[in-house]
Amino acid sequence: MKRIATCFLVFLFTAISAFAQTSIDKPAATIKLVKQEVISVRQLRTDVEKLENSVGVKLTLDQRKDVLDARINSMLFLQFCEREKISVSEAQVNAALSQLRSQLGTAATDADLEKSLRASGVFVDPATFVRQRLLFETYIQTKRQDELKVALKAPTADEILKAYDLAKASLVRPDTIRISVIYVDTKGKTNAEIAKAKELINSISVSLKSNPTKFDEYVLRASDQAGYKAIPSMYLEKTQQSKSIFGDEFFNAAFQANVGEITPVIETPVGYRIVRVNEFLAQKQLTLSDPVPGNQNLTVQEFLAIQLASEKQQAFLNKAEADLIEALRKEATIKIYSENLNW
């Protein structure tokens, strides 16, 4: 298992539990930046056990020390925020939690959010995770804003060209077709509803065989009331990924058709489709001015600029985090009771 990182943000992945201290708790460590706090062995064992349960591996002594270091870093950061009067409101925390839940779907619950965070490596409860993330963002905005502005400067043309040269091997558009689709979904429908859907799509197919020019009219008339739907235009790449997403039946029928041709009804596990192939685009090495595959509104140059800006921002945040924790650990008084870490 990879060594557990000890920087502050990684400690967001371990719990800052609120267990009361008792006289029988052995100390794992004591820290003092603005006030003395004790990390008990009980607290540390709780953190370790949560992590072990999540990864399915027993942690070694060195890894338990990493977990302790992570807790120390987090507690030092919280004391630092208290001293510097950096705070976030409950309303901010709740708003951020709501936003995270909404990304999972309108019906997502707190349990769904916690499960999602755990899947991404976050082992703390969602509210604690969000609170510390917001505190760090506030620290950057209030204490490191000027440095952040420098880090967020737009990439230069030379930087974009260098990034393009490095990425050129992967910047290839596979054979691609632009298609229009008329379809009826049958997933979850009764046998009678499926039979009705098949009858409808077959009647559309017969009509198109006699008059292919009516395809666009059918697309325009598509609606729930009409009983079928349509996709006016989409790009389909000739890749294994596309084949897995759309299914063999749809994928094979679409690529076997010529430009301008309308396929017969395609029966898939989820419904019936009729496809018209509008354009064929041969495999091509993408230039900076070409659109990104899957996003015709974004050029390769724009994509690389966004990617470079994101990498610069993340590099700045990582360094700001590491620098702050290093400074806090030098300033603070920290005592680790190594003899209590064996169990």
Q: In this structure, are 198 and 125 located in the same domain? A: no
Q: Is residue 245 part of a domain?
A: yes
Residue where a domain stops, chosen among 242, 268, 285: 285
Q: What is the largest CA-CA distance in the chain?
A: 88
Q: What's the number of domains the chain is made of? A: 2
C-alpha to C-alpha distance for 305 and 326, rounded to whole angstroms = 32
- Give a three-class secondary structure readout of 193-250: HHHHHHHHHHHHHHHHHHCHHHHHHHHHHCECCCCEEEEEEEEEECCHHHHHHHCHHH
Mark whether 227 and 114 lie in a shared domain: no
Range of 228's domain? 172-285
Supply the angle between the helices 90-104 and 110-119 in degrees, to the nearest 10.
80
Three-class SS of residue 111?
A: helix
- Return the CATH number at 102: 1.10.4030.10
Q: Which secondary-structure segment (H or E) carries 150?
A: helix 145-151
Residue where the block lists tokens 């709501």:
98
In-domain check, residue 280: yes
Q: Are residues 59 and 136 in the same domain?
A: yes
Residue 279 is predicted with a pLDDT of 96
The answer to whether the beta carbons of residues 72 and 31 sit under 8 Å apart is: yes
CATH of the domain at 184: 3.10.50.40
Please name the helix (run of DSSP H) or strand (run of DSSP E) that holds residue 276, with its range, or none: strand 271-281
CA distances from 271 to 16, 61, 118, 121 (A): 50, 56, 35, 37
pLDDT by residue for the chain (343 residues), tens digit each? 444 444 444 444 343 443 444 434 799 999 999 999 999 999 999 889 888 887 889 999 999 999 999 999 999 999 999 999 999 999 999 999 999 988 888 778 888 888 888 777 676 788 888 999 999 999 999 999 999 998 889 999 999 999 999 999 999 999 999 999 999 999 999 999 999 999 999 999 999 999 999 999 999 999 999 999 999 999 999 999 999 999 999 999 999 999 999 999 999 999 999 999 999 999 999 999 999 887 878 999 999 999 999 999 999 999 999 999 999 999 999 999 999 998 8
Instruction: Compute φ and ψ for 18, nearest 5 degrees.
Output: -105, 40
Q: How far is it, in rounded angstroms, from Cα 82 to Cα 283?
A: 58
Do residues 70 and 4 lie in contact, with contact meaning Cβ atoms separated by under 8 Å? Answer: yes
Sheet of 36-40: strand order equals 36-40, 27-32, 333-336
What contacts 143, CB < 8 A, 6 or more positions away? 84, 86
Asked if residue 122 and residue 13 are part of one domain, the reply reads yes
Give domain status of residue 156, yes or no.
no
Residue 302 in any domain: the answer is: no
Say yes or no: 113 and 18 in one domain.
Answer: yes
Return the pLDDT at 253.
Answer: 97
Sign of CA dihedral 168, 171, 174, 177: negative
Q: What is the pLDDT of residue 17?
A: 41
Q: Domain for residue 130, yes or no? A: yes
Q: Which of 245, 267, 285 is the last residue of a domain?
A: 285
d(CA 339, CA 57): 23
The values of phi and psi at residue 145, to 5°, are -60, -45
Same domain, yes or no: 13 and 144: yes
In a shared domain, residues 189 and 101? no
110 with 206, same domain: the answer is no
Q: Which of 169, 183, 166 is nearest to 267 (CA)?
A: 183
Q: Kind and range of the H or E element at 184?
A: strand 176-185
Q: Are residues 194 and 279 in the same domain?
A: yes
- Regarding whether 130 and 52 lie in a shared domain, the answer is yes
Regarding whether 14 and 143 lie in a shared domain, the answer is: yes
Flag whether 99 is in a domain: yes
Residue 160 lies in a domain: no
pLDDT at 13: 39
- Please indicate, yes or no, whether residues 118 and 217 belong to a single structural domain of this protein: no
pLDDT at residue 11, rounded to an integer: 43
Is residue 323 included in any domain, yes or no?
yes
Q: For residue 213, what pLDDT is reported?
A: 95
Q: Please give the pLDDT value at position 120.
A: 75
Tell me if 218 sits within 8 A of 230, measured CB to CB.
yes
**Rounded Cα gap, residues 132 and 146, in angstroms:** 22
- At residue 259, the pLDDT reads 97
